[in-house]
């Protein structure tokens, strides 16, 4: 048998083949090149262009937190607080880290005023971040913090508080849960009140806890305070009088605005129905509407003094000029209009006192539609007053070229035109201020800097004041507007409501007036929508609201009475001495 030859591995013939010299050099150079490239790349990333890696690293532990700015306060003209932001806290969680024991979960849910099932649902939502409760009181937040629960965190916030509640609600509006203005002054002055939040850079651990405060990037700039023209006492009087009228007449809605004659400042503004801005649960659109600015209505007879003013201003009539209103009805273009009562021959002053439609129309017929339109435009009807208040309406004033004769006639006594209550209140400043109209202001202004646009001459304005005093006195349409100790002037309005293009058996009752007549200080406009307790005339529904507001406001402002005091003897029981008391009585 032939013996087999054994060959060891190191004597393998394949290993005896010589490789080319260049191949080993090439491999060596390739390895050296790769090493140099890696070293260069490392040097570039870590030494020259290191922002990328730093950003990636910081994204895992560094955070920029917003530092909230304190929202500015809102005060009335005397510095009394109307709106202020108070510090609160929000509780949030990282669901992946919030592995709570059943007992801890029940305790947390109780403090958050929710049930354990609701809490579990929030923590099981599969999100990286979830709010458990916003705007918690600090004492409750401290009790939650003391539990030291994993994955449960807090952040500082602010909540808006309104001390006046529903009394000031439509003026101030309210803010969102993020403390941003949503309605009213809060929205109108958002940029001024909000300020600018700051920011700071911190380091957080994997559980979201801040472990190091690195630096402040930008300091927060707190919002500025806003000082309103509102007078808290006058506002409460207006709110109370309106609320009482709403209950007495079972009305659908109502609104009141009080203006300072000297400055055009809005001293009070109230609406009904209203709401509490501190508790906005179950709010409706009707509660939120600021009817003084947003609702328009056909004003009715409160428009008549402007036609009389135009007639006097153009020299067509004098206050003593007579107009025959018999037989109390007239027909224009197939349509018939009339007075509530037959008056016969009346002077211009008596037409305003008795509120004669026929007499007003006969004055209006002496002018072209364009002349009447220009007067209404000068008074501010047909366009918003641009006071910056959200949702301000401009009303309806059609171009004069489209007026038909019957439309010109009805517009003279307040039908076929629509206005807002704030527009009508401002227009009556022309009578109280000797014929000029200033701009209105929601914030406090300097009386010395107020200038108005001329609408009537001072002589005509004074004549109209006398007529309006007659209208608000005995023999006029609004004797219930009388205020003991003060001379008052004003005009009633009673207008049917339009529904579906037709006048319905529903009314808007209004009264606009001013006091004291000798030196006017306040203009008060009242609107009651759909009174349903049996009375609907402005003299019976709106005028008493005016009287109550004016009486209390003039005394609160320290305005001296301008009517004489008349002693009255009260009835006495047999055997008692007579008691005579000096009682202020308007003449």
Q: How many residues can be counted in the chain?
A: 587
Distances (CA, A) of 276 to 172, 283, 390: 11, 9, 19
Task: Name 452's bridge partners.
Answer: 438
Choose, from 85, 199, 216, 301, the residue flagged as catalytic: 301
Task: Write out the DSSP string of 221-284.
Answer: BPPPPEEBS--HHHHHHHHHHHHHHHHHHT-SEEEEEEEETTT-BEEEEEEES---TT--TT--
Structure tokens at 49: 């262009």
Nearest to 349 by CA among 244, 468, 209, 523: 468
d(CA 130, CA 112): 14
H or E, element range at 253: strand 253-260
H or E, element range at 569: strand 565-570
Tell me the pairing of strands 296-297 and 266-272: unpaired
d(CA 45, CA 25): 30
Task: Write out the DSSP string of 439-489.
Answer: PPBSB---GGG--EEE-S-HHHHHHHHHHHHHHTSTTSS-GGG-BTTB--E
d(CA 363, CA 317): 8
d(CA 351, CA 354): 5
Is 301 one of the catalytic residues?
A: yes
End-to-end CA distance of the chain: 158
Report the interhelical angle of 369-378 vs 304-313 (nearest 10°): 110
Which residues, at least 6 apart from 580, have a Cβ–Cβ distance to it below 8 Å?
Answer: 567, 568, 569, 570
Phi/psi region, residue 28 (left: phi>0; alpha: psi -120 to 50; beta: rest), is: alpha
The owner of tokens 């000031």 is 168
Q: How many other β-carbons are positioned within 10 Å of the β-carbon of residue 275?
A: 21
Tell me the pairing of strands 226-227 and 74-75: parallel
Nearest to 259 by CA among 110, 387, 172: 387
Task: Name 441's bridge partners.
Answer: 265
Is omega for the bond preceding 327 within 30 degrees of 0, making it cis? yes
d(CA 434, CA 133): 58
H or E, element range at 185: helix 184-188
Positions marked catalytic: 301
């Amino acid at each position: 048998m032939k013996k087999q030859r054994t060959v060891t591995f190191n004597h393998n013939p394949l290993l005896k083949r010589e490789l080319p010299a260049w191949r080993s050099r090439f491999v060596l150079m390739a390895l050296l090149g790769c090493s140099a490239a890696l070293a260069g790349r490392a040097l570039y990333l870590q030494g020259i262009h290191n922002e990328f890696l730093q950003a990636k690293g910081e994204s895992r532990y560094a955070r920029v937190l917003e530092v909230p700015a304190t929202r500015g306060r809102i005060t009335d003209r005397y510095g009394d607080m109307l709106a202020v932001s108070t510090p609160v806290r929000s509780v949030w969680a990282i669901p992946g880290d919030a592995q709570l024991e059943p007992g801890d979960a029940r305790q947390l849910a109780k403090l958050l005023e929710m049930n354990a099932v609701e809490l579990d649902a929030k923590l099981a939502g599969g999100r990286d971040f979830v709010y458990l409760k916003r705007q918690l009181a600090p004492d409750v937040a401290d009790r939650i913090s003391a539990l030291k629960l994993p994955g449960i965190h807090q952040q500082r916030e602010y909540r808006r508080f309104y001390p006046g509640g529903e009394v000031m609600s439509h003026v101030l509006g309210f803010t969102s849960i993020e403390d941003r203005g949503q309605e009213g002054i809060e929205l109108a002055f958002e940029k001024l009140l909000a300020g600018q939040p700051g920011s700071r850079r911190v380091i957080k651990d994997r559980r979201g806890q801040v472990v190091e405060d690195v630096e402040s990037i930008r300091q927060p700039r707190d919002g500025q305070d806003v000082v309103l023209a509102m007078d808290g006492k006058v506002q409460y009087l207006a709110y109370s009088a309106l609320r009482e009228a709403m209950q007495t007449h079972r009305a659908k809605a109502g609104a009141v605005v009080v203006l300072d004659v000297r400055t055009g400042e809005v001293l009070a503004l109230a609406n009904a129905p209203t709401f509490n801005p501190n508790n906005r649960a179950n709010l409706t659109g009707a509660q939120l509407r600021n009817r003084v600015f947003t609702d328009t209505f056909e004003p009715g007879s409160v428009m008549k003094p402007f036609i009389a003013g135009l007639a006097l201003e153009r020299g067509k009539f004098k206050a003593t000029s007579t107009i025959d209103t018999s037989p109390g009805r007239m027909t224009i273009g197939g349509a018939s209009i009339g007075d509530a009562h037959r008056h016969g021959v009346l002077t211009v002053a008596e037409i305003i006192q008795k509120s004669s439609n026929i007499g007003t129309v006969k004055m209006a017929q002496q002018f072209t539609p364009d002349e009447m339109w220009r007067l209404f435009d000068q008074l501010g009807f047909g366009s918003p007053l641009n006071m910056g208040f959200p949702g301000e309406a401009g009303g309806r004033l059609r171009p004069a070229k489209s007026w038909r004769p019957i439309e010109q006639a009805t517009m003279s006594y307040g039908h076929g035109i629509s206005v807002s209550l704030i527009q009508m209140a401002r227009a009556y400043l022309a009578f109280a201020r000797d014929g000029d109209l200033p701009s209105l202001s929601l914030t406090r202004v300097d009386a010395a800097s107020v200038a108005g646009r001329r609408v009537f001459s001072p002589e005509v304005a004074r004549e109209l004041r006398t007529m309006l005093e007659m209208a608000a006195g005995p023999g006029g349409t609004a004797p219930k507007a009388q205020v003991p100790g003060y001379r008052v002037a004003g005009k009633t309005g009673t207008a049917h409501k339009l529904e579906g293009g037709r006048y319905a058996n529903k009314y808007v009752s209004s009264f606009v007036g001013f006091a004291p007549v000798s030196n006017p200080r306040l203009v008060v406009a009242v609107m009651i929508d759909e009174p349903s307790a049996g009375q609907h005339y402005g003299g019976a529904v709106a005028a008493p609201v005016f009287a109550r507001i004016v009486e209390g406001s003039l005394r609160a402002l320290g305005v001296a009475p301008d009517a004489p005091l008349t002693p009255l003897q009260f009835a006495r029981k047999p055997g008692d001495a007579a008691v005579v008391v000096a009682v202020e009585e308007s003449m």
